[in-house]
Structures are given as structure tokens and as C-alpha cells.
Structure 1
Amino acid sequence: MSEFFITYPWAETLVALGGLCLSAFVANFVVKAILLRVLDRIVEKTAFGRDEELKRHGVVARLANIVPALVISSGILAVPGLPESAITIVRNVAIAFIILTLALAANAALSVVDTLYHRRAEARIRPIKGYIQVSKLAIYILAAVLIIATLLDRSPLILLSGVGAMAAVLILVFQDTLLSLVASMQIASSNMVRVGDWIEMPNLDANGDVVEIALYTVKVRNFDKTITTVPIRKLISEPMKNYRGMQESGGRRIKRALFIDQNTIHFVTAEEHRRLSSIGLLADYLPKKEKEIAEWNSRLGERANYPANTRRVTNIGTFRAYVETYLRQHPGVHPGMTLLVRQMDPTPNGLPLEIYCFANTTVWAAYEQIQSDIFDHLYAILPEFGLQTFQNPSGNDFGKLTDIAAAKLALRELRSPEQTPALKSLAT
């Protein structure tokens, strides 16, 4: 065999390379298939090992990739017959891969630290996400410098000495590219925008789903099926609303007001009380309210003889209680989210009675259907409480006034026939 290798030296080189590759493969298999599984079983017995959010970062799995690279970088020196340049290239590539793997592992470790810190109570007061992002950026820059220096087989100090001189030129020539690159890194690291998110940017006329995120631009398909191309750096510098949180929550907010004519607000009369008591949704509210008011009025003594001193049920308060009960029993309203029926500050257009709740769906068409059904019912039931919505006078209202004036003139004409010519001239 030795004579064969002496006769054919390239065969010895191929056998040694095959043995090196096999050694790297075996080392990779032993580390990942055996050691990592054993380590995972040990870690799973701890609180961190059962935490899926921490396990997905894969710090140990990334570090395991270093082993085959170490075998290759150290074993390539033992391969006979290889030129010095080939050995240098293979070693440098292996070392560059090790540096990249270490950087990714350090990045994953910082993500674990960020995840654990955000579970602490003080994380909302003293967030460290900005520091984590700066640390990641520094690691990536340092890793990039070391990788380039390793591949070029030069000292990193030589590479760093020219960075300062080139920085100004690069900033001027590639200003848009650098800004877009930084914005892309910020968006990716903060998970600000993803493909499929519904975003809204009124300043750029964008309101729809993100269909593509590139280095320079983000494409948004608006709901009218047009495409808006937004410079990616604008997502950082311009106001932008992302509806992902709403979609993930499973509920969409309904926030709209009924404008009540304030002239129709009054205390509930006995007749109205009897009629409202027959409404099923008020079966619990009215007896409880009457008992509360009766107990309060009983403490007034003789002052209770004057109605202004007493508490009484109002039609607006009864309607507000009805609306709240109606919403809590509505099948389209999310039961686990905020539900309010509140009075806002009076306006010249009436008293706003705001409905604040969440639909139990985020689908646009279904959401609009639920919202419309709710307000259809509320507008229709409003007169049952002696209330009316406010509406500015329209042409029909002025037409009714004209008809009333004409009727009064006709009545006067019947009562005073002698004034008929004057009335006719006035009417014309």
C-alpha cells in the first residue's frame, strides 16, 4: 500500500481528504445526535428546558456547529500533498465559519437574556431592548471584520486602519443604501413589520397588507387593490400603524357614538316605567335601581316631599343600562375584552353616548356586519325610551315648516274672508 501511495501521491491526498471529511461527519453526528440529545434531556428537567420560548433560540445547537469546523481546520494540516495555498484557504474558511457561528450563538444568547428580562416587572419601566440591539450590532460588525480579515489572511488591525478613511466616502456614495440597510436591520430585529401585516401610513397613502419587504422598499397592497411602494426607511421615520396586534388578539374595536337630542332627556314617568319593565334586558336593572333609589330617598325625611331633592330614574340612564346588557349578550361581541357605554362631553350636535367594545372577529366584512347590526338595533329601539337622535335640519324639515305656515294662512283666510286678497298676496 505504501508503494502504491509512493507511485500515486494524489491517491494518498484523496484518501486523507476523505478521512478528514469522514472525521468531521462523525464528529458532527456524535455532538448533535448523542451529546445534544443527552444535554437536552438534562436541561428539560429544569425550568428553562421546559420553556419553549427559550428553546427556540437554539444557543447550544449553534455552538455544536463549531466541532466539525474545528476538525477540518486542524486536520487539514495533516493531509499530505496539498499545496500551501489550498491549506490556507481551507483553514481560513473553516475559521471564518467558526467566527460566524460564535456570532450567531452570541446573538441567540442575547435574545435569551432579552426574553428573560422582559418577564420581569421592571422591564416595562427600564427596558433594555435598545442595549440588546446595540450589542447585537457590535457583535455583527466585529464578526464581519474578523471574517474578512481571516479570509484575506491579514491582520484585523490592518483592515480596521482603512475603515476610517473609507467611511466618509461610503456614507456619501451609498447614503440611501446604508439608511435602507440600517432600517432593514431595525425592522428585522424589532419584528416591526412582517409580510402579511396590515399597516396604515396616511402620509404615504398606504393602507393594506404588506406583500414584499426588500432592501429599499416595502410593497403594500391597498384594499382598493392598488400597490403603494414605501421606502423602507420611512417605516422608521414616519408614523405607521400596524394592525397585527389586533389580528392576533382575535377582536377588533367598535368605537362609535349615538348623538342624543338633549331636549328628549327626562325622568321616567310611571307609564314609561310600566312599559320599560316589560323589556327583558331591563328585568334586573330596574328593580335593583328602584330599590337603590328608594333606600336613598328614605333617608331624606321631609325633604323627600319636594321632587327636586329626590333621586329618580332617567330615560338616558335606563337606555345606557339597556345598551350595556344588550352588548354583553350579543353573540358578536367579544366577552373577554373591554366593554363600555359612556357619556362624552355634550356638543352642539347632541349628547354623545359612546359604544366601546370589541367584535369577536377581525375579518373586515364580519366586523362591519356585527357593528351595523348593533347600531341598527340601537337606533330602532331608541324611541322606546322617549329619546331621539340629534340631526341637523334638512330640506324636508324646512318643507314641513312651509306647509305649516301655509296651513296657518289658510286657517286665517277661513276665519277672516275679508282679508283674503291680502293673504293671497302674502302667500304669493
Structure 2
Amino acid sequence: MDEAPAEVTDLFFNRGWLIPMLVVLGLTLLVHFIISRFYKRVYPRVEKTHLVWDSAILKALILPLKVFVWILGLTFSVQLLAYHFEQESLNELFAPFRNFSLVAVILWFTLRFIKNMEIEHSRERRKAKKRYDKTTVRAICQISRIAAVLIATLVYLQTRNVNLSAVLAFGGAGGLVVGLAAKDLLGNFFGGLMIYLDRPFSVGDWICSPDREIEGTVENIGWRLTRIRTFDKRPIYVPNGLFSTISVVNPSRMSNRRIKTRIGVRYSDADKMEPITRDIEQMLLDNPDIDTNKFLMVRFDDFGPSSLNFVIYCFTKTTNWGEYMRQQQEVFLKAIEIIEKHGAECAFPTTTLHIPDGLEVKSHE
């Protein structure tokens, strides 16, 4: 009965692999604890600074660093076992695995850092109540992610002694074949890139196209599709390549809204046309909602079939559609008030019948 415990003791304590492995795992746990304590102490101080990148780096680094520490600890522990049991074939796997882990962890940290920078930048701008272009920020972050993945892939291939020149040459030939097979997909991709670079519109803008039945608010600009929400709340998914072939109007970036209308008065009020147009123009000049720095006029411009017509042309200071409609209504009502003040009336379609002399009109009873 005493021989079995003696064999167990000889297995775990009389051989030289257990203690080094426990030391490595203990050191790994200690480093993990130090990193956690450091983060808990430093992060509150970093949050109080006005810098964006420091808190983004710290939050991005903490989890990948812990994972990499445990990867090192576990791989070295298993490697000690392999050395002890003379499994040399296993030792050849650890160096490539650690290289791959290092590249993967750095890529993971980079992607987390890019995401944190995007979030922190947006939050700081909102906090400071500063306007920023969401589309540009999103585009820069997406391009940065793609670049990070490509660089990490090339670095890992370099650690595996892969000939990068051959890879790049093969990638060029393969890219040509893929480009021919998926030209529409690539057209949409580069169309999205041009939207990010030229910025004809951004997320949240109201756009429309006179060439197509497209009108609504931009909700999302992807690499292949742009999602537009129409005013009746239906989504439209537009391939980005289409924007390179159609005209796009962006009313969200208008500087003013225009009031343009034509009003007719009776021919019998022709002598009152000049004071009416003069007073309406003065009313517009005195209106604080009208931008008098822009072109403004009230002019008699047309002899209509049953009215003398004059045009009102001016611009409001606001670009908000609801406020614009209120101001336009106010201008129209004041114009009617001025017409009536001068004893004139707005004309409506009428027909005058002239009966020649000697012609009698008899009624039939």
C-alpha cells in the first residue's frame, strides 16, 4: 500500500520539470496581476486628461497584453515538458506559434485602438458641441483597419520566410482576374472611396437625384451600398458605383431657401400696381427673416389673360423646411394685406363678353 504514494511523490517532486513549470506559471500570474493593478490605478488619471489617444491606447492595450502574457507562460510551460520528455519535434512548433501570436496580438491591439479612437473622437466632439464629419472619420478608420490587416499579413509571411515578391506578383495577377470577374463589385468599392474622398454628401444629409427617383436622408455609407431613408420612411439601397454616373443634389448644404411666386391683380387696378410692388418690396426689406444680402425684387412682369402679374423673388435666412414654410406663408399673407390696403384685389380667371351694337340678347322663357 505504501508503494503507490511513493511512486506519485517520485513522479511530481523527484523529477526536474514540475518546479520550473510552476515557476513559469506563477510568474505569468504575477505579471497578469501587476498589469491589472497598473491599469486600475492609471486609467482613472488618464481619463481626466483632455487627450484622446492616451485613454484609447490604454484601453486597447490591456486585454491583448494579458492574453499575450498567458500565451508566453503556457507555451514556455509546455516547452519545458517537451524538453523534459525529449520531444524535440514539439519544440519546433512553439517559435512559429509565438510569432503568429505576437502578430495577431499586435493586430488585435491596433484594431481596438482604431475603434477606441473613433469612439473617443466622436464623444469629445459631441461633448464640446463641435460639428464633425462622421463620414470622414468612418472612412479613415475603415481604411486604417484594412491597412493594418494587410501589414500584419505581410509581416507574418516574412516571419515564415515567404518570398514577398512572389506573393505580391501573384496578388497582382490574381487581382487582375478578380477585377475582371467582379468589376461591378470593384466599381461600387471605388465609388464608395470617391464618396469618402470627394464628400458630395455625408451621413445625415438630405440628397436627391434629378436623374433617378432617389430622395431622402443618408443613413449609412458602406463600401458597396449607400442606404437612404425616403421621407415616407422606406429604405433605398443604392450601389456606390451609381453615384459616379448620376447628378446628386444636396439640399442639406444650401445656404438659403428661395421664395419665388407670381401674384396677379385685376386690370382695373393697373394704376395701383406701382405702389403695391413698391410697398411689398419694402416689406421684404424690413422683414428680419429675409436675407437682404441676397438678390431681392418685386417687379411687374407679365400681362396675363385676366390679370396683371408681378413676381416676388427673395431668399430666407433659414434652411429649415418647416421654418421656411412659415416664413413664406407670412410673406404671402402680408402681400395680400398690402394689395387690399391699396383698394385692389387679387385677380381670378374671368371672361368679358363684348356685344356689338344692334345685337339683341333675348331670354327664353
What's the TM-score once normalised by structure 2's chain length? 0.61
**Contact 2:278–2:298 (CA under 8 A) maintained in structure 1:** no
The corresponding residue for 2:106 is 98
> Do the aligned partners of residues 258 and 145 (structure 1) sit closer, same or farther apart at CA in structure 2, a change above 3 Å counting?
closer
How many angstroms apart in 1 are the aligned matches of 2:237 and 2:250? Answer: 16
How many angstroms apart in 1 are the aligned matches of 2:246 and 2:324? Answer: 29
The corresponding residue for 1:303 is none
How many angstroms apart in 2 are the aligned matches of 1:75 and 1:67? Answer: 12
The corresponding residue for 1:355 is 314
How many angstroms apart in 1 are the aligned matches of 2:272 and 2:208? Answer: 40
> Do the aligned partners of residues 186 and 2 (structure 1) sit closer, same or farther apart at CA in structure 2, a change above 3 Å counting?
farther
The corresponding residue for 1:35 is 42
1:343 to 297, 304, 307: 297
Q: Secondary structure at the match of 1:220?
A: strand
Q: Give, in angstroms, the shift of residue 171 of structure 1.
A: 1.3
> Do the aligned partners of residues 57 and 9 (structure 1) sit closer, same or farther apart at CA in structure 2, a change above 3 Å counting?
closer
**Contact 1:339–1:356 (CA under 8 A) maintained in structure 2:** no
Question: C-alpha deviations, 1:353-393, integer Å up to 9, x for none?
Answer: 32311458x4x6x44751453244134213146497997xx
Structure 2 unmatched runs, 5+: 1-8, 83-89, 125-134, 304-308
Question: C-alpha deviations, 1:153-190, integer Å up to 9, x for none?
Answer: 53462533422222211211222222333444555688
The corresponding residue for 2:76 is 78
1:316 maps to 2:265: no
How many angstroms apart in 2 are the aligned matches of 1:28 and 1:190? Answer: 44
1:154 to 149, 160, 171: 160
Q: Give, in angstroms, the shift of residue 135 of structure 1.
A: 11
The corresponding residue for 1:380 is 336
1:144 maps to 2:149: yes
1:214-233 alignment runs, 5 A limit: 215-224=223-232, 227-233=235-241
Q: Secondary structure at the match of 1:162?
A: helix
Q: Secondary structure at the match of 2:296?
A: strand
Q: CA RMSD in A?
A: 5.1
**Contact 1:76–1:91 (CA under 8 A) maintained in structure 2:** no
Q: Secondary structure at the match of 2:211?
A: helix
Q: Secondary structure at the match of 1:239?
A: coil
Q: Give, in angstroms, the shift of residue 204 of structure 1.
A: 2.2
How many angstroms apart in 2 are the aligned matches of 1:69 and 1:264? Answer: 90
**Contact 1:177–1:216 (CA under 8 A) maintained in structure 2:** yes
Q: Give, in angstroms, the shift of residue 202 of structure 1.
A: 2.7
> Do the aligned partners of residues 39 and 212 (structure 1) sit closer, same or farther apart at CA in structure 2, a change above 3 Å counting?
closer
Question: C-alpha deviations, 1:391-416, integer Å up to 9, x for none?
Answer: 7xx8x43x2x21xx13xx4xx4xxxx
> Do the aligned partners of residues 352 and 199 (structure 1) sit closer, same or farther apart at CA in structure 2, a change above 3 Å counting?
same
**Contact 1:72–1:94 (CA under 8 A) maintained in structure 2:** no
Structure 1 unmatched runs, 5+: 116-128, 247-251, 268-313, 413-419
Question: C-alpha deviations, 1:44-103, integer Å up to 9, x for none?
Answer: 3xxxx2xxxx63896544664564466456555533347443663354133233145447
1:93-242 alignment runs, 5 A limit: 93-99=101-107, 101-102=109-110, 137=143, 142-150=147-155, 154-155=160-161, 157=164, 158-185=166-193, 187=195, 192-194=201-203, 197-210=205-218, 215-224=223-232, 227-235=235-243, 238-242=246-250
**Contact 1:341–1:353 (CA under 8 A) maintained in structure 2:** no
Question: C-alpha deviations, 1:187-221, integer Å up to 9, x for none?
Answer: 56887443x65332232211123456555333434
Higher helix share: 1
What's the TM-score once normalised by structure 1's chain length? 0.54
1:255 maps to 2:252: no
Q: Secondary structure at the match of 1:256?
A: strand
How many angstroms apart in 2 are the aligned matches of 1:215 and 1:150? Answer: 26
**Contact 2:279–2:338 (CA under 8 A) maintained in structure 1:** no
How many angstroms apart in 1 are the aligned matches of 2:280 and 2:14? Answer: 103
> Do the aligned partners of residues 266 and 351 (structure 1) sit closer, same or farther apart at CA in structure 2, a change above 3 Å counting?
closer
Size of the aligned set, in residue pairs, is 313
Q: Secondary structure at the match of 2:160?
A: coil
